[in-house]
Structures are given as structure tokens and as C-alpha cells.
Structure 1
Amino acid sequence: MTRFRRSALIASPTSPAQAAVADLRSRYEWADLPDADSLVVLGGDGFMLQTLHAMLERRRILPAFGMNLGTVGFLMNEWRLPGLDDRIERARPFRVSPLLMTATTIDGERHVLPAINEVSLLRETRQTAKLLVEVNDRVVMPELVCDGILVATPAGSTAYNLSANGPILPLESKLIALTPISPFRPRRWRGAILPEKARISLTVLEADKRPVSAVADQREVRDVSRVEIAIDHIRDLTIMFDPEHALDDRITMEQFIA
């Protein structure tokens, strides 16, 4: 029986993931989570994001090696039982810098939330949103009329950002994407690619008449008046991948999928 170097095993509650847990525990020995210096995560992309967010909240960040037992598995490696110790030893680490969203509501409440994929602003009613867009305290767009807007990290650029016709960003590009969602005016604006050090501020115009919510990955704050977004390098995450199937390769190949 192989013992990892203080690796803990966590899994989603789905039947495939729980069956895999039983197989892995019968073959390998595992550390308890408080004693671990790395994680093996079983499930899909959603469970991996949930796990990464839990680490951010607890302020104890460990490298994570995921194996896909979900649907897409963009953030995961292939599920295989044999040779896991060697795979983890050879795994290629990737730094993922989350966004930090500071959202202020119409009532003056302040919410600070991390986002690994994206921060999105979305209209709450049938009324279009009107937003003032600032980059590094400079007004770059006095009025954007749209369904919403999002800021995506390279790791999240192939998710909601891609569905909104945003650009795919290489993982090590040190860039972020600013992408409008169904823009009405200016109609031809398709967004911007910004350096990761950029600070983005979004002010909701006519916030009472045209309410807008802000979402950091899956966590929503409703009726916002202003949202500030920046990369949070203090809490960088590390995801590990098999060398032959790394995240940067996946991101590159997504550009050739019709």
C-alpha cells in the first residue's frame, strides 16, 4: 500500500465519486485534512471550484490534483486508479489568481467575495442595465447599455466568458477579460483585454430603476450600486495537472473547437 506525502482525499457526494473513494482508500493511505499538504479532489469542475473556494474562506490553501468524475472536467485530470502516486509526483503546478469583488449595494452594504472564474453583473428585471466603466480610476465608458458585463480570469475565460463571445486567455498570460453581455449601446463594443494588475470599477446608473446583481462565481449580491474588481495575488491557488494533459493546453485547444 502506497502512502502519499501527506495528501488528503476529498470527493463530491455523487455515486461515481464515492465509489472511486472506496477504491482509492483500499489501495492508498491518506492523511487527514488538517495534516495534509496537498489534496486529491474527485468530482467535476463544480466540485473543484467549491473546494478551492472553501480553501480561500479557511485561508489554508493547498495544491489540488483533481480527477474527473463529473461532466466536463475542464479543471480536472483523467480518472485512473493505478499509478496515482507517480502522477502526483510528476504533476505540473499552475498558479490561479482569483479575483476579489467588492460590491456595495444601494442600501450601503458592502460585500467582499472571491471569484476563481469570473465576476459578472446582470440586470435583475426586463429593464436593460446602464453601467459606467472605469479602469484604474479612469472613466473608459461613460454609459454602457447592456444585459450585463463580466470580468474573467484566464482559468475562467473558457466558461461564461466564452459563452458571451469573450476571448480565451492563455493561463500564463497575466491578463483578464472585460466582456459585455448582450451590449446594446455602444453596439459594436466587444470588450477589452486588460493586464491582470488593472483595477476595474463598475457603477450602476439609475440603480433604483434598473437594478443589477453582482455574482462572484456562484455567489450573488443583489441591488448593487458599485462593484470594484481586482486580482487577489495574496491568495493564489495551485492546481496540478498531468504533464501531457495540462490546463494551458486545454485552454489553447478550446480556440479551435467549432
Structure 2
Amino acid sequence: TGQTALLNVSVNGMRRLTRARGDGVLVSTPAGSTAYAIALGASPLPIGATMLQLVGSNIVSPSRWKPVHLNHDVIVEIEAQDTWKRPCKAYVDGVDVGYVSKLTVRNSRVAGVQLAFSRSCDLQAKLYKLQFPES
């Protein structure tokens, strides 16, 4: 909606952000949402890294909050406040799952994918190009 979201963010049950104001937050993995995370001001995670990244989208408050790296086995809870006035939508892998008041994010314990690349694709070189752009 046109309203700024008010979000509480907890990591492993401990509140880390209270009533953060902005457009939303992104939880990304080394294999997913990397381009979106970069667009929001985060650095790309190395492929194969065992971590998640939590990135704010147009966060107004707290004013100096920056993207953070988290261990891959954490549980992130995002809870929307005042949803009657500020409804929040959630997207999972680009799919709109509708309006939510609380979202819990963790690595799957059962699902997995294996990516294949052509021999001519140097993924590490591509990542370095993103991390160290030419001037």
C-alpha cells in the first residue's frame, strides 16, 4: 500500500529491530535474490557461502541500519505492526503469497537444488565483477 511498513524483526527469537519503518525487508541466500539484494545496497554473497543476508528496502528508521549477514541456520521472524492501517504483502521466490502479519524464514531442512553451469560460465569471475565494478 502507500503506507510505510512498521516491522519487528527477530533472529532466533531475539528482537533485533523494533518498529523499523520502510518499504520492507529481504532475506536472501547466496543462490537467490542476489540481484535484488544488490539493488537494495547489499554486497553479493559468494556462491556456496553458508549464510543468509537481511536487507532493508528504503528503511527510514533506524536511519543507519545496513544489510547484515546471518548464519545459514538462523530463524528470521518478520512481524508487521498496525496491519489494519499498513497492510503488508509477502513474496516468496517472486511469488505473491498475499497479505501477512507475520512471516517466518529459515533454510529448508528437506528441499535442495543442484545448479548446473556450462564450462564457459565462470561464476566466480561474474561475482567478482559485481563486487568490484569498473570505474
TM-score by length of 1: 0.49
1:249 matched residue in structure 2: 125
Unmatched segments (≥5 aa) in structure 1? 1-124
> 2:24 and 2:132 mapped to 1: Cα distance?
27
TM-fit CA distance, 1:243: 4.0
> 1:219 and 1:157 mapped to 2: Cα distance?
12
Counting helix residues as a fraction of each chain, which structure ranks higher? 1
1:218 pairs with 2:94? yes
- Structure with the larger RCO, 1 or 2 (CA within 8 Å, 6+ apart): 2
> 1:168 and 1:183 mapped to 2: Cα distance?
19
Unmatched segments (≥5 aa) in structure 2? none
TM-fit CA distance, 1:168: 0.7
- After the TM superposition, which parts of structure 1 deviate over 4 Å for at least 4 consecutive aligned residues? none
- The aligned amino acid for 1:140 is R
2:9 matched residue in structure 1: 133
**1:181 is matched with which residue: 42, 57, 79?**
57
1:1-258 correspondence runs (5 A) = 125-258=1-134
Higher alpha-carbon Rg: 1
- Aligned pairs, number: 134
> 1:149 and 1:156 mapped to 2: Cα distance?
15
TM-fit CA distance, 1:211: 0.6
TM-fit CA distance, 1:193: 0.5
> 2:4 and 2:12 mapped to 1: Cα distance?
25
> 2:109 and 2:121 mapped to 1: Cα distance?
26
Deviations for 1:132-156, whole angstroms, at most 9, x for unmatched residues?
0000111111221011110011122
Question: Could you tell me the percent identity over the aligned residues?
Answer: 29
> 2:56 and 2:90 mapped to 1: Cα distance?
14
> 1:233 and 1:218 mapped to 2: Cα distance?
21
> 1:175 and 1:145 mapped to 2: Cα distance?
25
How much is the aligned-residue C-alpha RMSD, in angstroms?
Answer: 1.5
TM-score by length of 2: 0.91
Partner SS state of residue 187, structure 1: coil
> 2:104 and 2:57 mapped to 1: Cα distance?
18
- The aligned amino acid for 2:41 is N
> 1:235 and 1:222 mapped to 2: Cα distance?
23
- The aligned amino acid for 1:177 is Q
